[in-house]
Amino acid sequence: MNPSPILMSPVAHVHSARTEMTDDNWGEVISKIVLDDQFPEEAFQGISDFSHLEIVFYFHLAPAEEICTGARHPRGNKNWPETGIFAQRGKARPNKIGLCIVELLEHRGRVLYVRGLDAIAGTPVLDIKPVMQEFLPRTKISQPDWSKELMKNYW
């Protein structure tokens, strides 16, 4: 059974000096998230009360021919085990959806200034949510050693 397609429109777009999809050094990247005209400025009302936001975005430049639906070596590194696409966070995923928790630096009108967004200039933003302590994991997080090595220079 094929599921019905889901149609979405961006709520905002990313403006950033980063224009290429690279894998590392995102920690100090400052990006602007600009609310699309279809939404009133009030959509951001109260957002400055939060220190961090979750940004849901679309990897719009991820090549279709690289989409993985099964298992692969993360970043193509044969030293790391083949892992199912849903056990890694790469951009070449079936629905090309990215998720990142960012630090909110400033809110000015229709623009959010954030640090640490791993999305490039022009990236469509699908949703923006405040980070609340109560939604973070309540138990210890565990992950394999290869993923720690992969993330060593990410931020």
Burial class (CB in 10 A: 0-12, 13-18, 19+), 16: middle
Could you read off the pLDDT of 20-65 as tens digits, one per residue?
Answer: 877 776 778 899 999 999 999 999 999 999 999 999 999 999 999 9
Check residue 1 and give its pLDDT: 64
Could you read off the pLDDT of 131-148 as tens digits, one per residue?
Answer: 999 999 999 999 999 999
pLDDT at 11 over 70: yes
Could you read off the pLDDT of 66-121 as tens digits, one per residue?
Answer: 999 999 999 999 999 999 999 999 899 999 999 999 999 999 999 999 999 999 99
pLDDT at 5 over 80: yes
pLDDT at 155 over 90: no
pLDDT at 149 over 70: yes
CATH fit for domain 12-150, picks 2.40.110.10, 1.25.40.10, 3.90.1150.10, 2.40.30.70 = 2.40.30.70
Cβ(80)–Cβ(150) under 8 Å?
yes
